[in-house]
Structure 1
Amino acid sequence: MTTTSRGLTDRSTLVVALRTTVLLAGISAEVWNLVTVAGEGERISEHLGYFTVQSNLLVLAVVAWMLLRPEGRPRWFDALRGATTAYIVLTGLVWAVLLASPEEALGFTVEYPSFVQHRLIPVLMALDWLLVPTQRPLRVGRCIPAWMAYPIAYLALSWVRGGLLDGWIPYPFLDPAVHGGIGELVVPTGQVLLAFVVGIALVAIVGRARWRPREGLERPVPRIGVGASASD
């Protein structure tokens, strides 16, 4: 097993096993979902419109990339990995707090796809983020607004779709009809967005704190300043 003084590497046996578990479990859960969608006559556009599905598909793409190419990835890959980790962890938290019943959130009666996509993968991806340091230090001040772009765009497009296109809105906390008007969505959506800001900041800070240089990568000279990092 390949290790360093500050953590495991992409080639470590434990890490490869963890990521392989994420990949296989995630694929099987989504195949299960698609079979269910076809059997129940649900529109595929609605299924793919859920943040849970989108974040899990992103996880599968990123994990497959890490397994296939453990070294020599682009400079921006650490940021992509961090954003993906933040999205999937927050997917699990929002589901447990806002969407699931207490029995689902705390019990073991949840269906397999939901268990994998809302519980197993968020936990394993958080563990992966803790175990394997990034190749380059993250700029926390840049990560927060950059990583928030997708959740904000998702929110806006959900309202556009619900109000101007087919009328479908993925989640109750985004639905004006549930809350008595668009103005009443300030509190529920504001809470979710705040949770994303805090969660994204924590993931970025942990990634920054866990960073250590890899072999072949020159340790850069730190720069002082808000949001500054030791690399460009």
Structure 2
Amino acid sequence: MTASRARALHLTVALVATAALVLQTVLVVQGSAVLDETQVPPMATRLGRLVSYFTIQSNLLVAVTSWQLARDPGRDGRWWRVVRLAAVVGITVTGLVHFVLLRPLLHLDGADWAADKLLHMVVPVLAVLVWALVGPRPRSSASTAWWTLAWPLAWLAWTLAVGTVSGWYPYPFLDARENGWGAVAIACVGITVLFLAVVAGARAVDRRLAPAPTGGLRPATRAG
């Protein structure tokens, strides 16, 4: 895969992810439903809750990293590797959790339906596919993998703490008032195991596939 083709693919992901985020933001500003909310909260609350969703954060990471890769498909750096792997892993988990746990709870139509599908299905599939095709890789190491887990663990701790105080949770399976702390703990452990599995899988793929992109770019040194 040449660098020019890699740029085009990364640009496609960047455009789709950005469009999905913009559409969802517009809908939230207009007061459209987010998951199971039945009352429209004040604007500041709506925007604060919007950025609290792991879905939004993972799509944002995908958009930011894809825009940068569209400029330089061979980009590298210690912390860049962590952010890029976090984007790939986060968007993968977003798609899987949505499909298994959240999709049956949603009853959306029109633009809300379109935004939901873009954020939870189209961007995850597209982002992972392009990552597998054009990387950049190799970019994985044991330290990169462990640091990648810092963001979802911090998000989970913050979400549970804020939810305990405010009574609002971005996802129903984290609501201890409705499900009890036992069920919430089981959900957290299950999702943590899922993250570990996806990180391990992503690292295995990164180490086994051929370096990418090629075509005028010097491949990065394979991380240990």
**Fold agreement, TM-score > 0.5:** yes
Following superposition, the deviation at residue 197 of structure 1 comes to 0.9
Count of equivalent residues: 207
Identity %: 30
Counterpart residue number, 2:35 = none
Whole-Å Cα distance in 2 between the matches of residues 29 and 218 of structure 1? 32
Counterpart residue number, 1:142 = 143
Question: Any gaps of 5 or more consecutive residues in structure 2?
Answer: 32-39
The 5-angstrom pairing of residues 32-51 of structure 1 reads 32-40=23-31, 41-42=40-41, 43-51=46-54
Whole-Å Cα distance in 2 between the matches of residues 129 and 211 of structure 1? 12
**Structure number having the greater helix percentage:** 2
Counterpart residue number, 2:4 = 11
Following superposition, the deviation at residue 208 of structure 1 comes to 1.6
Following superposition, the deviation at residue 9 of structure 1 comes to 4.0
Whole-Å Cα distance in 1 between the matches of residues 172 and 139 of structure 2? 38
Counterpart residue number, 1:193 = 192
Are 2:24 and 2:115, in contact at CA under 8 Å, matched by a contact in 1? yes
Following superposition, the deviation at residue 69 of structure 1 comes to 2.4
* Residue number among 39, 52, 56 corresponding to 2:55 in the alignment: 52
Following superposition, the deviation at residue 126 of structure 1 comes to 1.1
Bigger relative CO (Cα 8 Å, ≥ 6 apart) = 2
Counterpart residue number, 2:34 = none
1:88-119 superposed Cα distances (whole Å, 9 cap, x missing partner)? 01100100001111898xxxx98111111111
Following superposition, the deviation at residue 209 of structure 1 comes to 1.4
Q: 1:132 to 1:72 in 2, by over 3 A?
A: closer
The 5-angstrom pairing of residues 93-172 of structure 1 reads 93-101=96-104, 111-139=113-141, 141-164=142-165, 166-172=166-172
Amino acid paired to 2:84: R
1:196-227 superposed Cα distances (whole Å, 9 cap, x missing partner)? 1111110111112125386545757xxxxxxx
Following superposition, the deviation at residue 155 of structure 1 comes to 0.6
